[in-house]
């Protein structure tokens, strides 16, 4: 077994997990009608874009596809932070409607424990982003082709 074969296996496993999680998360968001406003469409759009880029990558295996995937994965991580803030704000407003005197750590814990919308659910987008970035780490498509006419100095 060459040293590169285990990396190829791990890379394929990461890609398989990424695709499964993209499809599963996209299906879950659609079933939850997570498209009622523009901000809710962002994770669905990023999932669709990522799946499109992965299809392009399968067809061309170019460095451009890896760069596009990396950008999309960073956007997924950023969207997780925005999603967390939006979920937190919605939960905090709800909790303050119930008990306007609540504040500080009590409010924070109540918001984080809320089930609708789950404050930490957007973390799945960060997970997808990190998984995609792990797949692209030292990806063979990014290696410069060896030019036999170039002298090594």
91-139: per-residue pLDDT in tens? Answer: 999 999 999 999 999 999 999 998 888 999 999 999 999 999 999 999 9
Within a domain: 150: no
Q: pTM of this prediction? A: 0.88
Within a domain: 66: yes
- 8 Å CB contact between 132 and 18: yes
In order of 88, 95, 114, the CA distances from 101 in angstroms are: 18, 10, 18
Taking all residues of the chain, what is their mean pLDDT, rounded to a whole number? 92
Within a domain: 43: yes
Domain count for the chain: 1
Q: What average pLDDT does range 16-31 have in this prediction?
A: 98
Within a domain: 80: yes
**Alpha helices (H) in 1-153, listed in sequence order:** 4-31, 38-60, 63-98, 104-113, 123-136
pLDDT band at 5 (very low <50, low <70, confident <90, very high): confident
For residue 152, is pLDDT > 50?
no
Within a domain: 89: yes
- Print the domain residue range for 99: 7-139
Phi and psi at residue 149, in whole multiples of 5°?
-85, -10
Q: What average pLDDT does range 55-67 have in this prediction?
A: 97
Within a domain: 146: no
- Whole-angstrom distance, CA of residue 117 vs CA of residue 51: 26
Within a domain: 2: no
């Amino acid at each position: 077994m060459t040293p590169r074969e285990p990396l190829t296996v791990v890379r394929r496993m990461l890609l398989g997990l990424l695709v499964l999680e993209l499809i599963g998360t996209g299906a879950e968001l659609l079933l939850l009608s997570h498209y009622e406003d523009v901000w809710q469409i962002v994770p669905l759009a990023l999932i669709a874009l990522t799946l499109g880029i992965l299809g392009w990558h399968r067809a061309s295996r170019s460095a451009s596809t890896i760069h596009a995937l990396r950008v999309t994965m960073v956007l997924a991580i950023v969207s997780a932070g925005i999603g967390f803030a939006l979920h937190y704000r919605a939960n905090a407003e709800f909790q303050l409607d119930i008990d306007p005197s609540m504040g500080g750590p009590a409010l924070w814990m109540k918001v984080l424990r809320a089930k609708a919308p789950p404050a930490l659910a957007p973390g799945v987008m960060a997970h997808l982003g990190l998984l995609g970035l792990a797949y692209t780490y030292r990806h063979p498509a990014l290696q410069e082709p060896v030019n036999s006419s170039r002298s090594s100095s």
